[in-house]
């Protein structure tokens, strides 16, 4: 059994060597979900933030008795003023705050993704708002391990706010009190401090290593397993661990034994990412070809074969990583490659991940000569303007795009729906 990764002490050398001029924010503004304090998805993180600085809760309602004494209530206009001050962070705990908060231009944006409640999971707004929030956030926390892994593949600074170990992993001191912390709370504190000081992200790989160790131990108890072995392979892949291929093949074998009809696409195809990340592009392409089931995928495979024959190894490598949702690694290859083709492919990734400003920054005048590309550019510009707080500019762009495609009108409706959602989140309407 491998030795588990250890979490660095919060008051050790790592913390003490941080630049004091870039200390963590001393004011955190919480943008909650509907239903008051009782529905706040991460009260433990809010308590952690209150040990670090002042915590303010945005609401139109009076302060409830159940709210911790250390947390104060402020209005939305007050929050907008405070966010313009130094050492103030926005902490967004519901995706429907997207436009309202981003239009305030917070210097630091922390997103605590909640699990959907009621019919939220079925709303077309839900995932779209989360994607755009991820594209603007400095740090993301989530209680969903599936979501966390998706963020890790995207190359985002993230912390999984969960785990099996209930025992304290460390502590912090506040007003002569020693406050015990679980492992994910310690990881979140370190991630927060690295975010503020613009230090490299060491917490995401550390937590991935801890999860790989967990699934390795679990596998040693259960034996080879379709799900456990696959999750282990995914974490090993993220860590560039050479054991990822063996773990994946093990998961694929058991998926076949369990009668999974889609396991070539759901399990085997991931082997193409493992080979591609290791630089074994020909093997990666061969695996993808075997897994290409639809006519569109077969056509794409043949196109990739032509590119490989033309010597475009890095482009094929990046594309195979993108097809496996490893946007972070794909962007790294395209950044190093440079050139017009790489720019276009980076734009596509930013579009898929809804990193609106990043995508817009890559657009050149020559890219928007035909009607279709102009319409897409108008929709992208409208989205960016909405996030910046330029509502009239956004509506104008969407209306112009709607002249070619009426579906663009849905983006105006979306703005109105988010306006109503903010009223609900504030407690102004049912």
Q: What is the pLDDT of residue 2?
A: 44
Contact 182, 169 (CB under 8 A): yes
Q: Which pTM was predicted?
A: 0.91
Whether residue 11 has pLDDT greater than 70:
no
Which of 60-64, 232-236, 391-395, 418-422 is predicted least confidently?
A: 60-64
Whether residue 256 has pLDDT greater than 80:
yes
- For tokens 């490299």, the residue is 200
Q: What percent of the chain has pLDDT over 70?
A: 94
Stretch 206-234: mean pLDDT: 96
**How many angstroms separate the CA atoms of 263 and 269, rounded?**
9
Specify the higher pLDDT residue, 98 or 9.
98
Specify the higher pLDDT residue, 428 or 177.
428
Which of 2-16, 51-65, 216-230 is predicted least confidently?
A: 2-16
Stretch 363-392: mean pLDDT: 93
Q: What is the pLDDT of residue 12?
A: 40
Q: What is the pLDDT of residue 24?
A: 66
Q: What is the pLDDT of residue 17?
A: 38
Phi, psi of 111 (to 5 degrees): -115, 125
- For tokens 């707080």, the residue is 389
Q: What is the pLDDT of residue 172?
A: 79
Stretch 243-259: mean pLDDT: 96
Say which CATH class 13-208 falls into: alpha beta
Stretch 185-196: mean pLDDT: 93
**How many angstroms separate the CA atoms of 138 and 105, rounded?**
13
Specify the higher pLDDT residue, 72 or 174.
72
14: number of Cβ within 10 Å: 15
Phi, psi of 170 (to 5 degrees): 175, -165
Q: What is the pLDDT of residue 1?
A: 39
In tens, the pLDDT along 323-352 reads 999 999 999 999 999 999 999 999 999 999
Phi, psi of 89 (to 5 degrees): -120, 140
Q: What is the pLDDT of residue 23?
A: 63
Q: What is the pLDDT of residue 13?
A: 36
In tens, the pLDDT along 124-134 reads 899 999 999 99
Stretch 112-120: mean pLDDT: 93
Q: What is the pLDDT of residue 71?
A: 95
Whether residue 7 has pLDDT greater than 80:
no
Beta-carbon contacts of residue 334 (< 8 Å; ≥ 6 apart) = 318, 342, 345, 346, 349
Stretch 143-164: mean pLDDT: 96
Domain ranges of the chain: 13-208, 365-426
Cα-only R_g, the chain: 23
Confidence of residue 162 (pLDDT cuts 50, 70, 90): very high
Distances (CA, A) of 283 to 6, 140, 239, 274, 278: 36, 35, 20, 10, 10
Q: Does the CA dihedral 320-323-324-328 come out positive or negative?
A: positive
């Amino acid at each position: 059994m491998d030795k588990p990764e250890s979490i660095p002490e919060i008051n050790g050398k790592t913390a003490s060597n941080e630049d004091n001029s870039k200390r963590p924010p001393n004011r955190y503004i919480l943008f909650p979900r509907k239903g008051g304090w009782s529905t706040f998805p991460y009260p433990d993180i809010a308590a952690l933030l209150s040990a670090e600085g002042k915590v303010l809760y945005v609401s139109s309602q009076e302060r409830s008795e159940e709210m911790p004494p250390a947390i104060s209530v402020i209005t939305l206009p007050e929050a907008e003023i405070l966010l313009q001050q130094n050492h103030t962070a926005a902490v967004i705990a519901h995706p429907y705050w997207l436009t309202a908060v981003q239009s305030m231009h917070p210097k630091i944006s922390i997103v605590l993704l909640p699990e959907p409640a009621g019919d939220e999971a079925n709303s077309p707004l839900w995932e779209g708002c989360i994607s755009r929030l991820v594209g603007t956030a400095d740090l993301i926390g989530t209680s969903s391990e599936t979501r966390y892994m998706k963020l890790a593949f995207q190359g985002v600074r993230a912390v999984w706010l969960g785990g099996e170990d209930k025992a304290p992993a460390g502590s912090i001191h506040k007003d002569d009190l020693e406050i015990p912390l679980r492992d994910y709370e310690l990881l979140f504190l370190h991630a927060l401090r690295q975010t503020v000081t613009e230090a490299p992200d060491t917490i995401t790989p550390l937590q991935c290593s801890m999860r790989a160790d967990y699934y390795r131990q679990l596998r040693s108890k259960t034996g080879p397993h379709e799900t456990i072995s696959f999750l282990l392979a995914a974490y090993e892949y993220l860590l560039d661990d050479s054991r990822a291929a063996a773990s994946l093949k093990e998961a694929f074998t058991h998926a076949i034994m369990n009668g999974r009809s889609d396991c070539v696409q759901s399990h085997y195809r991931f082997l193409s990412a493992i080979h591609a990340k290791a630089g074994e592009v020909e093997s990666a392409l061969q695996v993808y070809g075997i897994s290409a089931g639809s006519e569109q995928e077969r056509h794409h495979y043949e196109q990739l074969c032509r590119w490989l024959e033309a010597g475009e190894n890095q482009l094929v490598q990046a594309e195979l990583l993108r097809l496996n949702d490893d946007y972070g690694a794909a962007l790294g290859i395209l950044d190093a490659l440079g050139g017009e083709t790489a720019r276009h492919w980076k734009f596509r990734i930013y579009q898929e991940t809804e990193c609106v400003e990043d995508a817009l920054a890559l657009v050149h005048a020559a890219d928007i000569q035909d009607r279709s590309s102009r319409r897409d550019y108008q929709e992208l510009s409208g989205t960016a303007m909405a996030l910046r707080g330029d509502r009239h500019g956004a509506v104008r762009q969407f209306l112009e795009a709607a002249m070619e495609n009426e579906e663009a009108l849905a983006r105006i409706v979306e703005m109105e729906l988010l306006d109503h959602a903010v009223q609900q989140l504030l407690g102004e309407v049912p």
